[in-house]
Amino acid sequence: MTQQYGDYEVESFLGKGSIGKVYLARHRRIGRRVALKTVHLEQKFEDDEDRSEFYKRLQREAELCGAIQHPNVVTLYDVGYEDDRVTYLATEYVDGESLLARLRRTRPLPLDEALNIAIDLLRGLAYAHAKGIIHRDIKPANILLTSEGHAKIADFGIARPLHSSLTATRSLVGTPNYMSPEQVRTTPVSTRSDLFSAGAVLHEMLTGLKPFGAPELSAILYNVVNLVPPRVSETNPHVPEAIARVVAKLLEKKPEHRYATADEALADLEMVRKTRAAALDRMELDTLAIGPGDATTPLPTIIDYTPAPLLRRPIPPPVFWLVTLLLIAALGASVMTLRHRIAAEKPVGVISPDRLRIADAKRDSLEAARALAYAGKFEEAIAAYTTHLNRFPQATAAREERDSLQKKVAELKASKAEEPRVTRKPKRVVPEAEPAPEEKKLSRMQRLRRWLNEDTSKPREKKKN
């Protein structure tokens, strides 16, 4: 039986997203194919505030995408609801691949391809910013490439209107390798934050490297705030300096030092593309041109613009391997030095101390109650859960665990009450014989000695009552 969501019939499975599965579906009346993002939550919300924030984000994505109609932005067609909650989003189906998949196949991208993708990306951002919308999660996975090579921005799930008063429950919002310094510091963001993320994506396309990549999350966040990456023209000599200047300006740490708008960055990149195209056209004309004289002059006599090889002579094998070993040793030393530096350095200004303190206290309090429950100290665990709920009354998970534990304790007490009681006869205590009056004056040791000296072979006389 074909699976259906509203008026959409599922054709095939495309992948798994952050909130559920994504299907290729077709509208059963008009036949339009869509990418159907369904909502199937697997995570357990900590409290009602987290659940409410999640559904607000879904509703916000629907509203924002519905307001955007642009060739470089994925179009939203329809939204499904159940009990006033979003259950699916029917968006434009892009027959192609994501930029992330493209980079997995080729790093770095050819210069012209990277330039075209960057221009499409900036066009989409310029349109969204003009509508007062900040995306806040520009990254290769959210940039879809059509079969014709055009780029479209997708997933406005954490986008937010420029002057929105809606707050987020978590401090860090975005993807660490592409976040702006103001996002890492959890300070207010503007449209220039998207430009920083676009610069990080362009840097990766041109060099094949993430500008702030590191083995650990804390090191990545530190690099975003403090590290100035090398210019793309230094990492990849084939990149023109004009493009390197655009990327460097997009990646400025202070927002006021970046481009004021996406249109400004777009104008500079389009100028570079026009200049490059004109230069290639002139080179092609010069290559095909035949000087005055015989019109049958063969093409090999024309000036050759093919770059000459850097090494014209073969390198002897001993020299080649010696240089290779030296480069490997230098690379290993650089990696070890960088790892030690990253381990010694700590990120600053990532999360506010007050929020971190509250989060730690909330986690430690809940873990302490759970530890008492696992240890079998049920009454103490129930008291600990109650203390936790008095301080954090919205903690739904803690409330459910405490109620379940109270129910189990009540069942244990009921089962013990039903067990038959075994009555045991009390032991009979035989009082010691009262010593004779004359023996009371003797000490215990003296009475013991007298008893030992008695002739035990004779039967002792019974005392008269």
Verify whether residue 48 is a known catalytic residue.
no
Question: Are residues 158 and 137 in contact, defined by beta-carbon separation less than 8 angstroms?
Answer: yes
Burial of 235 (0-12, 13-18, 19+ CB in 10 A): middle
The token pair at 323 is: 């240089």
Integer angstrom CA distances of residue 97 from 90, 154, 183: 18, 12, 28
**Beta carbons within 10 angstroms of residue 44's beta carbon:** 10
Rounded to an integer, what distance in angstroms lies between the CA atom of residue 22 and that of residue 15?
Answer: 5
55 contact partners, CB below 8 Å, separation of at least 6:
85, 86
**The two three-digit tokens of residue 392, written as one number:** 């954090």
Q: Any bridge partners for residue 12, and if so which?
A: 24
From 78, 120, 137, 194, active-site residue: 137
DSSP string across 224-270: HHH--PPPHHHH-TTS-HHHHHHHHHHT-SSGGGS-SSHHHHHHHHH
Active site residues: 137
